[in-house]
Chain A
Amino acid sequence: MVAAIVLVFISAILVLAGAPVLEVHGLLVTGAVGSWSKLAQVLRVWVPLTLCSCGLLYTFQIGLWNIGVEGQVMLGAIGATAVLRLGFDSALPGAVLGAALVVGMLGGALWALLAGLLKTWGGVNEIFAGLGLNFVAQGLILWLIFGPWRRPGVASMSGTEPFAESLWFPTPAVWRISPHALGLTLVALAATALVLRHTRLGLALRAVGGNPSASYLFGLKPGRLMLWAMGLAGALAGLAGTLQVTVVYHRLIPAISSNYGYLALLVVMLADYRLSWVPFIAFFFAALNVGSIQLPLVLQLDSSLSGVIQGALVLTVLLIHAWNSGKAGTRWTT
């Protein structure tokens, strides 16, 4: 039903924009899964989207709106770039890449903790703290690209000097997608499933999210757990940023996070905050993103159509949820 509503809505928008409806839908499909190279491209988007979504599950469990994922991705990318620039002539490129992963995750985690501390200590709503820090992170990247890390000769929006190929995670020609990135994402999915379902931390996050005062009476420390959730979410977002640098772009560019942080929020909402649906919805959203790249080239339409479809899907689901639970009268969660 959701699909039908959204399809009608999108078609109406396309008619409004004077675009050929069927052609657009067809283009979205072939543009995303029409060939192996397209599919590989989708997977390249799927990786950061899934990582960010996994991270968001921790913060949503405890009832925090971690809107700052976007900035956490960027700080991960900055951390990784810093390491790779320092180790550019190292004899052990593998070790440098490993260090980049660690520092990248750390960068994302610290950025998230900053938002977390602003919330728990400074009383700043996490939505505004996270959002503000996103813009700050964007400014930081621009400053680095045009300042200390500018290309010799001319600084430009195209980013920093590309790294030596030894500092790339390899991408086999037939694969067109880095096995390291895919592997790390699968590990992150498995680890998140494990933590959320089988550890005390996961249970504690859910308890505090469900009822902070009862959790406090059970001996849990809500403030500290919030920081844990933020830190874990930031680390995963930082990992996504690191992979954007080491796998996809091989340099730091202004749009390194590509809005995947915001998009991940939609993924998790559509997945109804359930991990098991995240990889599939992330794949679908990634496909929409990749498919829509064709729109400006072929039909002179803006590629933001994918965002409209994604938003419409989530909105429809939210409304249907509210409608159903309103009728059943069984809403007891907040």
Chain B
Amino acid sequence: MDDLNVLAVLAGVLAGASPIVLATMGETITEKAGLINLSLDGTILLAAMVAFLVAHDAGSLGLGFLAAALVGAGIAAVVGIAGVYMGQSQVAVGFVLTLMCRDLAYFLGNPYSRIQGPRLAPLPVPGLERLPLLGSLLFRHSLLVYLSVAVIATTWWYLYRTRWGLELRAVGENPQAAHARGIDPKRLQLLHALLGGALVGLAGGAFSLGIKPGWGRPQGAEGMGWIALAIVIFGGWHPLKVALGAYLFAFLQVLGIPLQSWWPSVPAQVFQVAPFPLMILALLLLGLTQKDTLQRWADAHPRVRKLLRSIQGRAPRALGRPYRQE
């Protein structure tokens, strides 16, 4: 009986994390190229709304997700063009887009509030679903969950095993040197902003067509974009560590559900903010590991140093700074 519970929880984590995984992978790709797309929170909401609207009107989930990806890429294009080609502050543009896209989603989505619409159904993998334990854990999910896992692996493979991924990391690290080797840093940054943005858009669709089906104000995905941005930092810009962070976050969320029943007098909304102090705490721990005193202490203790090294990830060196040719 206990086994089943643990399995159910873990299966829930796997499913619940899928949108966050998509969003964090998208942002990891974008930031690895040296560009910050701060508009995640608004992008996710607008994409969620559009996905639901399109899926509802066209009666096609596929079209819904396609529309969500296009919305994500479109918003990322604004950040990319303004930030990379025009040299405007990426943070400023991203922040304005965050607020604007959220309001745009509420405004345009108003007629679709609280109506029934299509949602992803579980798609058990024939054969594999019957496996003991693993079957219910891994193989009775919706297509989206399989996709999210595949995206993690693909992102890792793309970044570390392909030539484009290598060039992308190089540009995020040292665009001048990349230019000296015949790579066009700006073009590459824009392209990966689009790719990352499309994944963030899919995350929006994953909310409104998947784990928080439907549209409304609030949708329930509010704040998730910010969490995703923080998880990318927490995961040290490495796709596997970032994914781990996303699953850890989903796990804590699932854990929070029984917690609520223990304090029935505390309103559910209070629990909804729990991820945010957690986010600050995680970033604080990360920040403290960079402190001089700790570093020096760790240098004297090889094991601690190794642990610290594994936690620490370094931001792409050129992150947020537009490249200018000499």
Direct contact of A and B (CB under 8 A): yes
* Given pairs A136-B277, A266-B99, 16 additional interface contacts (CB within 8 A): A122-B288, A128-B280, A136-B280, A139-B269, A139-B270, A139-B274, A146-B266, A269-B96, A302-B106, A302-B107, A310-B99, A310-B100, A315-B100, A318-B92, A319-B93, A322-B88
* Contact residues, B105-137 vs A (CB, 8 A): 106-111
Closest 9 A-B residue pairs measured CB to CB?
Answer: A311-B100, A123-B287, A307-B103, A139-B273, A322-B88, A322-B86, A135-B276, A304-B106, A302-B110
Contact A123 B290 (CB under 8 A): yes
Where the two chains meet, the residues of A that have a C-beta atom closer than 8 Å to any C-beta of B are 13, 16-17, 65, 67, 118, 122-125, 127-129, 131-136, 138-139, 142-143, 146-147, 254, 262, 265-266, 269, 300-302, 304-308, 310-312, 314-315, 318-319, 321-323, 325-326, 331
**Which residues on A sit within 8 Å (CB–CB) of B308?**
none
The verdict on A302 contacting B217 (CB below 8 Å), with A13-B107, A315-B96 known, is yes
Consensus secondary structure, chain A interface: helix
Max count, chain A CB within 10 A of own CB: residue among B86, B91, B223, B265: B86
Contact B86 A118 (CB under 8 A): no
Contact A13 B100 (CB under 8 A): no
Consensus secondary structure, chain B interface: helix
Cα of A296 to Cα of B111 in the assembled complex, Å = 11
Contact B284 A314 (CB under 8 A): no
Where the two chains meet, the residues of B that have a C-beta atom closer than 8 Å to any C-beta of A are 38, 78, 82, 86-89, 91-93, 95-97, 99-104, 106-111, 217, 223, 226, 229-230, 233, 265-267, 269-270, 272-277, 279-280, 283-284, 286-288, 290-291
Contact A146 B267 (CB under 8 A): yes
Contact A318 B96 (CB under 8 A): yes
Cα of A271 to Cα of B321 in the assembled complex, Å = 24
**Which residues on B sit within 8 Å (CB–CB) of A125?**
233, 283
Contact B270 A135 (CB under 8 A): no
Chain A min CB distance to B174 (Å): 19
Contact A269 B270 (CB under 8 A): no
Name which residue of chain B comes closest to A65, CB basis. Answer: B91
Cα of A132 to Cα of B265 in the assembled complex, Å = 24
Contact A265 B87 (CB under 8 A): no
Contact A322 B267 (CB under 8 A): no
Cα of A202 to Cα of B111 in the assembled complex, Å = 48
Contact B291 A123 (CB under 8 A): yes
The verdict on A124 contacting B287 (CB below 8 Å), with A139-B269, A322-B86 known, is yes
Contact A143 B266 (CB under 8 A): yes
Contact A307 B100 (CB under 8 A): yes
Contact B287 A122 (CB under 8 A): yes
**Which residues on A sit within 8 Å (CB–CB) of B86?**
319, 322-323, 326
Give the number of residue pairs across the A-B interface with Cβ within 8 Å: 151
Return the contact of A311 from the options B87, B99, B266, B287 (Cβ within 8 A): B99
The verdict on A142 contacting B91 (CB below 8 Å), with A13-B107, A136-B277, A308-B100 known, is no
Contact B96 A325 (CB under 8 A): no
Cα of A127 to Cα of B98 in the assembled complex, Å = 13
**Which residues on A sit within 8 Å (CB–CB) of B270?**
139, 142-143, 146
The verdict on A322 contacting B82 (CB below 8 Å), with A132-B279, A135-B273, A139-B273 known, is yes
Cα of A321 to Cα of B265 in the assembled complex, Å = 51
Contact A308 B103 (CB under 8 A): yes
Contact A147 B265 (CB under 8 A): yes
Return the contact of B103 from the options A65, A311, A319 (Cβ within 8 A): A311
Cα of A20 to Cα of B34 in the assembled complex, Å = 43
The verdict on A131 contacting B88 (CB below 8 Å), with A118-B280, A139-B269, A301-B110 known, is no
Name which residue of chain A comes closest to B41, CB basis. Answer: A131
Name which residue of chain B comes closest to A269, CB basis. Answer: B92
Name which residue of chain B comes closest to A254, CB basis. Answer: B269
Name which residue of chain B comes closest to A143, CB basis. Answer: B270
Contact A142 B102 (CB under 8 A): no
Contact B88 A319 (CB under 8 A): yes
Cα of A63 to Cα of B85 in the assembled complex, Å = 23
| 17 pairs, A vs B, C-beta closer than 8 Å | A17-B108, A17-B110, A65-B91, A123-B291, A128-B226, A129-B280, A135-B273, A136-B280, A139-B272, A304-B103, A307-B104, A311-B99, A314-B96, A318-B82, A318-B89, A322-B87, A325-B87
Contact A262 B99 (CB under 8 A): yes
Cα of A259 to Cα of B274 in the assembled complex, Å = 20
**Which residues on B sit within 8 Å (CB–CB) of A312?**
100
**Which residues on A sit within 8 Å (CB–CB) of B102?**
304, 307
Chain B min CB distance to A9 (Å): 10
Name which residue of chain B comes closest to A334, CB basis. Answer: B89
Chain A min CB distance to B80 (Å): 13
Chain A min CB distance to B56 (Å): 15
Name which residue of chain A comes closest to B109, CB basis. Answer: A302
Cα of A114 to Cα of B108 in the assembled complex, Å = 37
Chain B min CB distance to A60 (Å): 10
Chain A min CB distance to B71 (Å): 13
Cα of A261 to Cα of B293 in the assembled complex, Å = 36
Contact B88 A318 (CB under 8 A): yes
Max count, chain A CB within 10 A of own CB: residue among B78, B82, B96: B96
Cα of A274 to Cα of B59 in the assembled complex, Å = 50
Contact A132 B277 (CB under 8 A): yes
**Which residues on A sit within 8 Å (CB–CB) of B290?**
123
Chain A min CB distance to B181 (Å): 26
**Which residues on B sit within 8 Å (CB–CB) of A305?**
103, 107
Cα of A5 to Cα of B10 in the assembled complex, Å = 50
The verdict on A124 contacting B284 (CB below 8 Å), with A265-B95, A326-B87, A331-B87 known, is yes
Contact A308 B107 (CB under 8 A): yes
The verdict on A315 contacting B93 (CB below 8 Å), with A131-B226, A138-B273, A302-B217 known, is yes
**Which residues on B sit within 8 Å (CB–CB) of A129?**
280, 283
Cα of A306 to Cα of B277 in the assembled complex, Å = 30
Contact A318 B93 (CB under 8 A): yes
**Which residues on B sit within 8 Å (CB–CB) of A266?**
96, 99
